[in-house]
Amino acid sequence: MLLLFCRSSGRAGDMLPRHGTVYSVFLLTRTANIAPRRDVENWVGSARMHGSLLASAVDVSAYAERMLTGGLAWLDDRIFVLPKLTAAAETGGGAAMSEIARLLLTAHPPIWLYLAVSEKEVSREYIPSADLNALLWLEPNLDRILIAAHREVAFDRTTAMAKEIGDAAELLVLAAMRYCGQEPIHVAQLSDSYGYDIEIPGSAVDCVEVKAAGPRTAGQFHLSRNEFDTCERYGSRWRLIQLVFNSSAFTARVIGPAHVDSIREVLSSAWCDLVPPDTSAFVWEESAVITPPEGAWRDSDLVLDPDFGVPGFGAGHTAAG
């Protein structure tokens, strides 16, 4: 099934679960299973006939086409609807509407679902206001529905997005260094084995690890075992630069300096002692989350290139699944 990752509302194929969208899908699902529907026109007409006044106020035919193109329904010798939608519609009442809303979020996840929602909570400040307002009809169950949808779709895409925003941070730092007259080498493009991302030839501190963060994760970072071993080996020649992106970066078509709230640096000497040594009973191998003391951070004097930008998540994403 094709999963469409939409930046926000209003685009062709948009299936954000507004009240009218969910009600249309509910009607179309019910009528597809009451009796065989041999063509789309008959299917849509039957949905309108079985609906209330709301059915005449929404474009049911448009939602029928979106269900077909989005893999929620298909036409063979008759109209078939995804079994999960059929099961949801059969529950009836508010429970049916809530479950259909969750299924639409799962089948057509908006980009913010991966950023605003975690396993336990929803940060509504990351949701575009137009989309949030369109979903408020789901209260008081909105957060529960969003978290349930996130759990079903999040892992692979969240991992990919973390890499994308991390790559964007590296490119912005590289451009900033060149803008300031330095000649950095992007060693992370050559190999992951270096234990840092950027090397500055001839500099007293020439090994730079770049980390990206959002408002919720500023001040902490994931560090691989190789990065930790490298920073211990290089000592004061290894430093970490963290770009803290504001929430608009995660829906922008182009990510640039305007999407960076702050640039901070921390030396390895300020936090290496936080990591416990290996013992015969415990060894960490893959990665760890490090949270240096707030006083260990200092504002970076790095100046971002005002004309530099990299493609953002809002540029349009599709993925097969």
pLDDT in tens, 85-98: 999 998 877 899 99
> Residue 117: CB partners within 8 Å, gap ≥ 6?
123, 146, 147, 149, 150, 154
Alpha-carbon gap, residue 317 to 321, rounded angstroms:
13
Side-chain half-sphere exposure of 9, counting CA atoms within 13 A? 13
Average pLDDT on 190-195 reads: 91
Give the pLDDT confidence score for residue 204 in this predicted structure: 64
Alpha-carbon gap, residue 180 to 182, rounded angstroms:
6
In this structure, are residues 5 and 110 in contact, taking their beta carbons and an 8 Å threshold? yes
Parallel, antiparallel or unpaired: strands 238-245 and 207-213 = parallel
Average pLDDT on 172-176 reads: 96
Judged by DSSP in three states, 20 sits in helix
Residue 223 pLDDT greater than 50, yes or no: yes
At residue 227 the predicted structure's pLDDT band, cuts being 50, 70 and 90, is very high
In this structure, are residues 59 and 14 in contact, taking their beta carbons and an 8 Å threshold? no
Cα angle: 186, vertex 187, 189; to 5 degrees: 80
Alpha-carbon gap, residue 35 to 43, rounded angstroms:
10
Alpha-carbon gap, residue 318 to 321, rounded angstroms:
10
> Residue 169: CB partners within 8 Å, gap ≥ 6?
210, 211, 212, 243, 245
Give the pLDDT confidence score for residue 162 in this predicted structure: 80
pTM of the model: 0.60
Give the pLDDT confidence score for residue 14 in this predicted structure: 80
Beta bridge partners of 243: 212, 263
As a whole number of Å, the end-to-end CA separation of the chain is 6
311: phi then psi, degrees, rounded to nearest 5: -55, 135
From the CA atom positions of the chain, what is the Rg in Å? 24
Give the pLDDT confidence score for residue 119 in this predicted structure: 84
Give the pLDDT confidence score for residue 184 in this predicted structure: 94
